Structure 1
Amino acid sequence: MSQERCLLSVAMIMRDEAHNLDRALGSIRPYVDEIIVVDTGSKDNSVEIARKYTDKIYYYEWHDDFSAARNFSLQFPTCEWVLIYDADEEVREDFAGIREFLKSLPKDVNTVYLPTISYLDWDLKKVEVASTARVFRNGTVRYEHIVHNQPVYKGKVVEAKFPIYHYGYIWTRSLKKKKYARSSTLIRKTLEEKDLSPHEEIYYTAQLYKIESIGGKVHEKYQLAERTIRLLKEYKALTPIALEVMFLHGMDLYAKGLHDSAEELFRWTISFVSENPDPYCGLAILYDAKKDYEKVIEAAEKFFENKALVERFPEKFVWTIMSLKFSASVRMVLSLAYLRLGNILKFREHFPKIFEEAELTAEDPKKIGSYILASFLQLSDEQLREIEPEFYETVRFCRLHGVKIPLLQVVDKLQHAGLTVRDELFENAELSNFEKLVFEKLKGTNKDLLMDWLFGIDRVSKISELGVGALLTYFQFSSDDLTEKLKVLNAIRKSEDSTLAGVAYALIGDLYLKNGNFKPAIEYYRRAIEKLPEVSKFLKVVVDDLKSRITPEIDGTFEEIREFFFKNREFFADLSKIYPIEELQHAYLISDSDFAKYLSAVYSMDKDREKARKLLEEIKAREAFPFFYYRLGKIYELSNSQDDLKKAYEYHTKACITNYNLGDIALGQFPFDGFYVCEEFGNEDDEIVWVGNISENHSGLGLISPVRVWRKCETFYYVQPFPTIEVLQQYKRKLKNFRLSTLKPDYGNLMEVLLNYRLKDFQVLDFELDDYRHLIDSACRELGSYLSSESRNLLSFEALNIFPNIETFVRDFETVVMFYYVPDFSKKEDIVWRYPLFRVIRNSEQILKLFESLGFKEIKIESLSNNLRVIYARKS
């Protein structure tokens, strides 16, 4: 370019840049008078390409020092101004005004800052922006630092909006490895060998942190970040390069869940540079994780305010702005924060921009779409109805970007909110078989689809695979007509499995009996007896009845056969091992039947107790489900409401009355009979703290009621029904015949206590002596201790958990040592609540008050295990 004066030179150092040079030099040539290229040892054809644009090519022997090479290049420019330019950069049309701008500058201006826009991905969507000193009056600048060299300049500085576009961060794996090895080696060498100023040490430590973050020893990042922060605090300043470390390290802390530390770091950064968008980005995201939505709004709004400044005046920002690539995420948490706080107008102001910015920044659309959908699913029904258009806009975004939509959860939520489930929710989606059935149901089919899902269109093969329980379930709950049921049963009666065949014969007999076809009914019952003799006791009764009176009012054999095969099982198998749990939870979406609702309720109890309760209470034919009242009891027992806990007790009791097998769930040997000898104890006004069926985990062995309530009075917790001492004694004798877990101190516990409290002689309560005699004898032989009816010392193993009037046992003793058990009071599943032998529970405070009231002066309580405690009390 011929000009009246030599205004602008380019100074470039390069090595093996053949893949970049045409772009870099071709784009800059129209705007400059002179191009200086210094080659530091290229082995490709970089020099030949450079000659197409300039004849001013010089050579410099590389000495592992970028600043030395840069300073060498600065001796050759002849123009008034010098532009420092790299081979992995380019300029565009927006650089065109640079010459007129330079001509207009006063003589006291020596340095011009230009914005650098660095691309981070091949789609050129993720960017970072930084304004750096790039243009200098010739002879006024030199460089320092061996890596990522920095200019040292003097005189007045101005900023100009002529961006340079940088591609050097879009690295292939081989290039990344090469650059890492070169840069990290040089920096480590400098940090180890040179006597650096605080500013230089911060600079190189921060640079090494960035290099290790990109592709090196990631495990060293934390130490480098902490070293940078320590140096900054000693230096009492925040250098531009350290800002990048603060943001990256803050986001790492956030990712680890260390939100308080991340917040402290971001706030500290803001105290130095409040116009930086980066820390506000971090704060907005971490406040969203904390569910502090007012602070989300405050931080996110400030982020976008500062982001606008960066976009308007990029030349003013002398540090790298790293958070621009997270704009869509910040917009997302901002809009959702407004929604959660009920500000629909502000939500709608920001929401459409989420997807626009996601396209520009190339943020992971799957994360964004999934997060928004998950947030929408947590809204109240009223809120969801209000933002229905935005909901479906999100669905379209997810579909466009291949985001997996949780269809069952979405349909569930939409229906619960009273919204139409649009067909577009299923369009272009790879549907599971269950999801196809949901879609079919939504389109208005009158067919009950539950059996299609459970057993498929070809019922016979699936039922044969799953066994007799599946056959009984199909027979009881299928909506198939008589013809179809007979077809299935007739195919199964030909099975080589005699159990399947025999039950199929019996069920065919039931169908004929119900429809008044008595002769074939009798014939099929007889064949069932031949195939399956073990059920003949049920079948012969029906056959004998039919011989004496021909009437369809005679009950068939199904109920007895079901009871025989199911016993105390709720379903024919552990369905969660056969069908996806999410499908079980949503069975009611493909069927309006009671069985579908029951399935969904049972498998939703842990996740959504209220949903399970509503589904159960919608069931009409409750007698079809032997565990129905047990399930209702389970739901209400988890509440803290006194009314709900009373309901839990009522339902658990009713469950045992309607299904005797629930009297002994664990062993299955002692069905509920209501005959549990108890004594009147307690006050119905005392607070209920626990309700449940203890036979889920243990067994009352037919002596102790499976359904119990724990109540709290001032001095202890007590159980209702309250079994008598005779019952407990018989229970302890009977327990020896079963392999059930026990809550009893063991030999190690006894030895520890006797050693700690030096009991040479002691008494043991008659109630406990037989059960613990072998432990006592062994311990006494080892320690030289002995039992004595005259001893003033009492050792007890169970009394504190059995007797409410403990003072009658301990009043006359000088020293008392008592083992006792307490539950974790925050866990309703704790075994102590369920242990049949226990009638009383005391917490430590109650025990201390009890022994103080009895005149004991020295009192110690020790924990021996999670539940086991020991109290040592001495009167003098």
Structure 2
Amino acid sequence: MAQTTETREKLISACLIVKNEEDVLERCLKSLRNFVDEIVIVDTGSEDNTVEIAKKYADIIDYFPWNGDFAAARNASIDKASGEWIFIVDADEELILDNYNELQNLKQFLKTASIDVGGIGIGILNISNITFLDVNSIYVNQIRIFRNKPEYRYRGAIHEQIVGKILENGNKIHIYGGKILRHYGYISEIVQKKDKINRNMVILERELKKDPKNSFNRYNLGLEYDRIGKFDKAIEEYKLAVKYLPNYNVGYANNLFKRLVRDLIELKRNKDALKILLDVVKIYPEDSEFYYYYAGTLVNLKKYENALKIIDKAIAMGEPPPYIMHLRGVGSFRAWHLKGRIKEALGDYKDALTCYEEALKIEPFFLEAVDSLIFFLYNQLPREKAREEVKKRFSNVDHEVVIGNIAAFLGALKEYDLALEFTEKIPDSLELKLKKAEIFFWQKKFNKSSELLREIIVEELKKKNPFLYSTGLYLAVLVEVCLNDIDNAKNYYKLLAKEELLSFNEKNYILGCFLESLSSGKLKQVEYKDEFDREKLEKELWQLAATFLSLDKFDEFEIVYNLIESNHFINNKKDKFGKLFYRQEFYDLAAEALLEAVKKHEADDETYYILGKICEMKNLKEEAISFYQKALSEKREFKYYLALITLYNSLQRYEELKEILSEAIRKYPEAEILKALNAVVKKL
């Protein structure tokens, strides 16, 4: 039972509404029991063990028949509470107990708060990734604690609100901030399992029929479209939410613009995003997250010098103020990482390395910076030296997710022995056993991979981590295909298809089309369906093609090739196949496909650059120069300049070298390698 104070009336009543929360409720209640003085739970129709779990911890359990109105259910729980302060908590949240001092300070504040303080805003970390915690969280302040007064009641059938009632009664809101709760409810696998999206959309669409100009409900409907990857639909709702926005100061307005910008960037509509960002940085000048997106958009548009100025501003501003909802790291580790990418694109390699190191110094678990640093080392150093640097820099890493990420990235670089060495750091880790099976797969040690997967899938994965279980099943299908055991592959796929967590999963749909085509001998057409994202379908097809090509499984590759060729929604196929062949080191096939792409007017700057690289390999240097010049005419990329400069230098064509080097320095004045080359050329 929850503890109660002996010297005064109850201070804090935690109020929860629950339905079918057996997977998460105990974690939540355990975290609350030594902090609050009373736990009130209202069940709205659970059909699992939720109520039995609640009985172990709750002081009051009541029942409220679900009527599609969250405010009504929430208010029913408040009616039963007797504490001085109401603390609203959801079952898929937990107190951050390692912030003990902060929790005690919050409790002390509640004991001494002035009488005019009606509500308290506390910091919540919304966790977005099932395999990781705070690094990828969204920080938000919400009014979750307020005085227990009969006039303080929620309104709104969904995403219910209390702030208006507090202010209407002449009281004020105090933003306490801190990091008080973790919220796991919007991890995509959990959302799909609980069918939250369909439930929320039904309620929101019902409410919007009553009031089509309700900006807040439009915003929330956009969020639901976001969660299922329908970014175009989300953008439509966000634009309507902006149109009906009462003013720019309402609590959700700031995040509304962030969501709109992020979705436009996701759909590669960078110019549209930039147009909005130019306005919102004036509306919210204290929010570094907008400057972070501003810089990222400029990077996507290849405007690196301008991007550098903007990201420096974000870094100088630091993290947004605690009262603003924001993605962690936009003014710190994420910003430093983006600056590193910009510096690398500008050829300033020394500063790029410093930026990546700074990002990891601030947040050692930031996997994007880990990947960028490893890739940078392998690009800039001889392979043996890069290997030594990776060992040295990551020797003390002891978190399985980070180790697994390092191992996977090294595997992609074909550094299999070093990757396996990292997986041995925590021998009993399921995550790392799965990575080991994956590395065996890439090494073409299919029997070893199959044996390990059988062991961890059957004995451990399903019980302990459903997400890893589904990942393991997907890999197991591919392994059995490579072993030519199609029956076993189909059995694993049946298990994969049963997983509730895999609704709307393009990856597994494409695998199913391939497997049916392989087993039947007849091509299974990939169909575009409403629940699928077209870009994701295409991405998964290319990824599967790359997998079989890299393993020299040419019969299997041919099936995926035909699946791609037969699909009308994939554009520029010759160009994309050519680039795939190049990445997999099939240079003759790459040249053939890319030259065909040039004839079909599918080529872009990268096409010409790759053709130049292939010509250099074949000692066709004049042709290489021609292709590099064509790439530069399309885009003034640093690597295109460098390729042409290096080639002119090797051919001792110094006049042309000086001319192109001078142009490159004007474009990239901070590039160290260009400065060094210029010093040498001046002596010629």
Into which bin does the TM-score normalised by the smaller protein fall?
0.5 to 0.7
Are 2:407 and 1:400 aligned? yes
Are 2:175 and 1:159 aligned? yes
Q: Which structure shows the higher helix fraction?
A: 2
Opposite residue 7 of structure 2, the aligned amino acid is E
Q: Aligned-pair distance for 1:353? A: 3.3
Cα deviation 1:191-214 (Å, max 9, x = unaligned): 01x247x6xx11100101111111
What secondary structure is seen at the aligned counterpart in 1 of 2:68?
A: coil
Whether the 8 Å CA contact 2:608–2:627 is kept in 1: the answer is: no
From the superposition, tell whether residues 615 and 112 of structure 1 become closer, same or farther in structure 2 (CA, over 3 Å): same
Q: Aligned-pair distance for 1:373? A: 7.2
Opposite residue 229 of structure 1, the aligned amino acid is V
* Superposed counterparts of 1:504-523, under 5 Å: none
2:272 aligned residue = 261
Whether the 8 Å CA contact 1:67–1:145 is kept in 2: the answer is: yes
What secondary structure is seen at the aligned counterpart in 2 of 1:50?
A: helix
Are 2:32 and 1:32 aligned? no
Cα deviation 1:512-563 (Å, max 9, x = unaligned): xxxxxxxxxxxxxxxxxxxxxxxxxxxxxxxxxxxxxxxxxxxxxxxxxxxx
Of residues 101, 117, 127, the one that matches 2:137 is 127
From the superposition, tell whether residues 396 and 608 of structure 1 become closer, same or farther in structure 2 (CA, over 3 Å): farther
Whether the 8 Å CA contact 2:125–2:179 is kept in 1: the answer is: no
Q: Aligned-pair distance for 1:79? A: 2.1
Opposite residue 256 of structure 1, the aligned amino acid is L
Structure 1: how far apart are the matches of 2:81 and 2:302?
A: 58
From the superposition, tell whether residues 117 and 395 of structure 1 become closer, same or farther in structure 2 (CA, over 3 Å): same
What secondary structure is seen at the aligned counterpart in 1 of 2:65?
A: coil
Of residues 104, 109, 115, the one that matches 1:101 is 109
Q: Aligned-pair distance for 1:21? A: 2.2
Q: Aligned-pair distance for 1:407? A: 8.3
Of residues 31, 43, 48, the one that matches 2:47 is 43
Whether the 8 Å CA contact 2:319–2:331 is kept in 1: the answer is: no
In structure 1, list runs of 5 or more residues that go unmatched.
378-383, 409-426, 433-575, 587-603, 617-630, 642-876
What secondary structure is seen at the aligned counterpart in 2 of 1:159?
A: strand
- Greater relative contact order, per chain length (Cα 8 Å cut-off, separation 6+): 2
Whether the 8 Å CA contact 2:288–2:331 is kept in 1: the answer is: no
Structure 1: how far apart are the matches of 2:389 and 2:74?
A: 56
Of residues 3, 6, 26, the one that matches 2:6 is 3
1:861 aligned residue = none
What secondary structure is seen at the aligned counterpart in 2 of 1:274?
A: coil
What secondary structure is seen at the aligned counterpart in 2 of 1:247?
A: helix
Q: Percent identity at matched positions?
A: 23
* Superposed counterparts of 1:618-629, under 5 Å: none
* Superposed counterparts of 1:782-821, under 5 Å: none
1:563 aligned residue = none
* Superposed counterparts of 1:402-551, under 5 Å: 402-403=409-410
Quick check: 180-189 or 632-641, which moved more? 632-641
* Superposed counterparts of 1:723-738, under 5 Å: none
1:170 aligned residue = 187
1:657 aligned residue = none
Are 2:210 and 1:202 aligned? no
Give the root-mean-square deviation of aligned CA atoms.
4.2
Opposite residue 351 of structure 1, the aligned amino acid is Y
2:464 aligned residue = none
Are 2:327 and 1:322 aligned? yes
Whether the 8 Å CA contact 1:605–1:612 is kept in 2: the answer is: no
Structure 2: how far apart are the matches of 1:221 and 1:361?
A: 28
From the superposition, tell whether residues 59 and 372 of structure 1 become closer, same or farther in structure 2 (CA, over 3 Å): same
Are 2:261 and 1:250 aligned? yes
From the superposition, tell whether residues 134 and 285 of structure 1 become closer, same or farther in structure 2 (CA, over 3 Å): same
Q: Aligned-pair distance for 1:9? A: 1.5
Opposite residue 141 of structure 2, the aligned amino acid is S
From the superposition, tell whether residues 294 and 389 of structure 1 become closer, same or farther in structure 2 (CA, over 3 Å): farther
What secondary structure is seen at the aligned counterpart in 2 of 1:360?
A: coil
Q: Aligned-pair distance for 1:74? A: 1.9
Structure 2: how far apart are the matches of 1:633 and 1:267?
A: 44
From the superposition, tell whether residues 5 and 302 of structure 1 become closer, same or farther in structure 2 (CA, over 3 Å): farther
Structure 1: how far apart are the matches of 2:391 and 2:48?
A: 50
2:291 aligned residue = 280
**Paired residue total:** 426
Q: Aligned-pair distance for 1:224? A: 1.3
Q: Aligned-pair distance for 1:23? A: 1.6
From the superposition, tell whether residues 391 and 265 of structure 1 become closer, same or farther in structure 2 (CA, over 3 Å): farther
Cα deviation 1:664-721 (Å, max 9, x = unaligned): xxxxxxxxxxxxxxxxxxxxxxxxxxxxxxxxxxxxxxxxxxxxxxxxxxxxxxxxxx
Structure 1: how far apart are the matches of 2:119 and 2:41?
A: 21
Q: Aligned-pair distance for 1:290? A: 2.5
Structure 2: how far apart are the matches of 1:632 and 1:164?
A: 62
Structure 2: how far apart are the matches of 1:612 and 1:228?
A: 53
1:17 aligned residue = 21
Structure 1: how far apart are the matches of 2:296 and 2:48?
A: 46
Of residues 35, 59, 81, the one that matches 2:85 is 81
Structure 2: how far apart are the matches of 1:218 and 1:73?
A: 36
What secondary structure is seen at the aligned counterpart in 2 of 1:402?
A: helix
Of residues 191, 206, 210, the one that matches 1:189 is 206
Structure 2: how far apart are the matches of 1:307 and 1:639?
A: 40
In structure 2, list runs of 5 or more residues that go unmatched.
395-404, 416-438, 445-580, 592-606, 631-684
* Superposed counterparts of 1:597-616, under 5 Å: 607=610, 609=612, 616=619
Give the alignment's TM-score, normalised by structure 1. Answer: 0.43
Structure 1: how far apart are the matches of 2:57 and 2:263?
A: 45
Cα deviation 1:776-807 (Å, max 9, x = unaligned): xxxxxxxxxxxxxxxxxxxxxxxxxxxxxxxx
Are 2:233 and 1:220 aligned? yes
Structure 2: how far apart are the matches of 1:391 and 1:334?
A: 25
Opposite residue 156 of structure 1, the aligned amino acid is K
2:248 aligned residue = 237
Opposite residue 353 of structure 1, the aligned amino acid is E
Structure 1: how far apart are the matches of 2:147 and 2:629?
A: 78
Opposite residue 137 of structure 2, the aligned amino acid is V
Structure 2: how far apart are the matches of 1:638 and 1:167?
A: 51
Opposite residue 135 of structure 1, the aligned amino acid is I
Q: Aligned-pair distance for 1:169? A: 1.6
Whether the 8 Å CA contact 2:336–2:358 is kept in 1: the answer is: yes
Quick check: 11-20 or 178-187, which moved more? 11-20
1:180 aligned residue = 197
Give the alignment's TM-score, normalised by structure 2. Answer: 0.54
Are 2:339 and 1:334 aligned? yes
What secondary structure is seen at the aligned counterpart in 1 of 2:114?
A: coil
Cα deviation 1:337-385 (Å, max 9, x = unaligned): 345557667544422134567752444966x4687579x57xxxxxx89
From the superposition, tell whether residues 188 and 326 of structure 1 become closer, same or farther in structure 2 (CA, over 3 Å): farther
- Which has the larger Rg? 1
Q: Aligned-pair distance for 1:174? A: 7.3
What secondary structure is seen at the aligned counterpart in 2 of 1:32?
A: coil
Structure 2: how far apart are the matches of 1:395 and 1:26?
A: 40
